[in-house]
Structure 1
Amino acid sequence: MTPTDPTTEVVARPRVEGDREQEIHEATLTVLADVGYDRLTMDAVAAGARASKATLYRRWNSKAALVIDSLCSMKEPHAMPDTGTLRGDLVSMFCGMGGLTDARQIAILASVITAIGRDQDFAEAFREQFIGPKAAMNHQVFVRARERGEIRDDVDLDLIVPALPGLLLHRQFLMGEAIDASAVERVIDQIILPAVAVAGRPHDTSSTSSPETKEDR
Structure 2
Amino acid sequence: MSGPSSTTPDVPASAHPHGGSRPRVVGERETEILRAAVDVLRDVGYDRLTFDAVAAAARASKATLYRRWPNKRELVVDAVGLLVGCPAERDPNTGSLRGDLIGQACADGGLDDAVVSETWAALLPVIHRDPELATELHARFIAPKTDAARVVLRNAQQRGELGPDADLETLLSILPALSIHEAMLSGKRPGPERITQLVDTVVLPACAATLSRSDRAAARPGR
Q: State if a TM-score over 0.5 links the two structures.
A: yes
Q: What runs of 5+ residues in structure 2 fail to find an aligned partner?
A: 1-13
The whole-number CA distance in structure 1 between the counterparts of 2:190 and 2:69 is 33
Give the equivalent residue in structure 1 for 2:113: 102
Indicate yes or no: 2:60 matched with 1:42.
Answer: no
Q: SS at 1:21's partner residue?
A: helix
Equivalenced residue count is 197
- Pick closer, same or farther for the CA change 1:84–1:176 going to 2, 3 Å: same
Q: Normalised by the size of structure 2, how large is the TM-score?
A: 0.80
The whole-number CA distance in structure 2 between the counterparts of 1:187 and 1:203 is 19
Q: SS at 1:14's partner residue?
A: coil
The whole-number CA distance in structure 2 between the counterparts of 1:33 and 1:24 is 14
8 A contact 2:81–2:141 mirrored in 1: yes
**Percent identical residues:** 43
Shift of 1:142: 0.9
Q: What runs of 5+ residues in structure 1 fail to find an aligned partner?
A: 1-7, 206-217
The whole-number CA distance in structure 2 between the counterparts of 1:172 and 1:102 is 12
Give the equivalent residue in structure 1 for 2:222: 204
CA RMSD between the two structures = 2.1
Q: Which amino acid aligns with 2:65?
A: L
Q: Which amino acid aligns with 1:54?
A: A
8 A contact 2:161–2:220 mirrored in 1: no
Give the equivalent residue in structure 2 for 1:16: 25
Matches for 1:1-217 after TM superposition, within 5 Å: 11-74=20-83, 75-80=85-90, 81-95=92-106, 97-174=108-185, 178-197=189-208, 198=211, 199-200=216-217, 201=219, 203-205=221-223
Give the equivalent residue in structure 2 for 1:215: none
Q: SS at 1:186's partner residue?
A: helix
The whole-number CA distance in structure 2 between the counterparts of 1:108 and 1:27 is 12
Runs of 4+ that moved beyond 6 A: none
8 A contact 2:88–2:106 mirrored in 1: no
Q: Which amino acid aligns with 2:129?
A: R
8 A contact 1:46–1:53 mirrored in 2: yes
The whole-number CA distance in structure 2 between the counterparts of 1:169 and 1:83 is 25
- Pick closer, same or farther for the CA change 1:130–1:195 going to 2, 3 Å: same
- Pick closer, same or farther for the CA change 1:64–1:106 going to 2, 3 Å: same
Q: SS at 1:118's partner residue?
A: coil
8 A contact 2:175–2:203 mirrored in 1: yes
The whole-number CA distance in structure 2 between the counterparts of 1:94 and 1:64 is 27
8 A contact 2:160–2:220 mirrored in 1: no
- Pick closer, same or farther for the CA change 1:203–1:193 going to 2, 3 Å: farther
Q: SS at 2:149's partner residue?
A: helix
The whole-number CA distance in structure 2 between the counterparts of 1:43 and 1:88 is 44
Shift of 1:43: 0.9
The whole-number CA distance in structure 2 between the counterparts of 1:97 and 1:123 is 23
The whole-number CA distance in structure 1 between the counterparts of 2:220 and 2:198 is 17
The whole-number CA distance in structure 2 between the counterparts of 1:124 and 1:78 is 21
- Pick closer, same or farther for the CA change 1:12–1:187 going to 2, 3 Å: same
Shift of 1:190: 1.8
